[in-house]
Amino acid sequence: MMVRFIQQIARRRLRDGTADCHERVDALFSGADLGSRIGYERFLVAQATAFLPAERSLEEGGIAAVLGDWPSRRRSHLIAQDLRKLGQQLPSGEDAPTLNGTPALLGGAYVLEGPRLGAALLRRQVPSHLPVAFLSSNYPGAWRTIVETLDEDLRDSHAIDQAIEAARSVFALFERSGQQMSVRRITDVA
Ligand code: HEM
């Protein structure tokens, strides 16, 4: 039991240390109208605006050496595929933070893995004729194994703090792109 408790420390601290960020991105992205083509397109463009540069930062920082199964986790090509089918340009993207060192890389990867948890629910709202490769991406055990890696590789408080700081900077990318998405939506209604 003690081992299981210890194994939750890094993940719990990451969750608690980014809870305010999650609340904000959840509120922003939950506002998307996924049941309409235009709403879904905006959602995907906003996701891509943050996701593509964040994933690129992870790759430039060397995430493949930290997560041996990284090729199965990457999803930029799936968003790109959906956007292409929708006739949308790839967004130029946000300026991504630099992520160097195992703690920062794992903090960033934690943020990108989280949305997988709710993707199936979101996918059900999207009309069936629209492309949903990104929301359908299925990698069984992705969440369990990243939580295990966090707990194995982030063993001291300093490393966990570095992971939290990196995770917050990646959440901030999503917050900015989510804000742009809601501004566009409100302007359209007005
Ligand atoms: C439509 C908007 C969103 C909703 C409704 C939502 C909802 C949720 C829910 C219900 C969970 C808990 C899942 C579980 O424990 O089984 C979760 C976890 C998580 N989400 Fe989101 N989310 C949203 C957007 C995002 C975005 C945009 C990101 C990051 C870019 C994100 C990152 C995370 C992370 C990292 C976790 C794991 C937290 C933990 O350690 O338990 N979420 N989300």
* CB 111 near ligand 1, within 6 Å: yes
Q: State the closest ligand 1 atom to the C-alpha of 110, by its place in the atom list counted from 1.
A: 35
* Rounded average pLDDT over 137-145: 93
Give me 145's structure tokens. 């194994």
pLDDT in tens, 71-115: 999 999 999 999 999 999 999 877 899 999 999 999 999 999 999
Which amino acid, 7? Q
The torsion angles phi and psi of 59, rounded to 5 degrees, stand at -70, -40
- Residue located nearest, by CA, to atom 18 of ligand 1: 114
- Alpha carbon distance 142, 116 (integer Å): 9
How many CB atoms neighbour CB 99 within 10 A? 25
* CB 11 near ligand 1, within 6 Å: yes
* CB 168 near ligand 1, within 6 Å: no
Contact 110, 150 (CB under 8 A): yes
Residue 190 has pLDDT above 60, yes or no: no
Q: What's 82's domain CATH number?
A: 1.20.910.10
Total structural domains in the chain? Answer: 1
Q: Which long-range contacts (CB under 8 A, 24 or more apart) does 153-159 make?
A: 153/10, 153/66, 153/102, 153/103, 153/106, 154/10, 154/102, 154/103, 154/106, 159/102, 159/103
pLDDT in tens, 8-20: 899 999 999 999 9
Q: Which domain holds residue 58?
A: 2-189
- Residue located nearest, by CA, to atom 14 of ligand 1: 117
Q: 14 CA to middle of ligand 1, Å?
A: 12
- Residue located nearest, by CA, to atom 6 of ligand 1: 26
pLDDT in tens, 39-57: 999 999 999 999 999 999 9
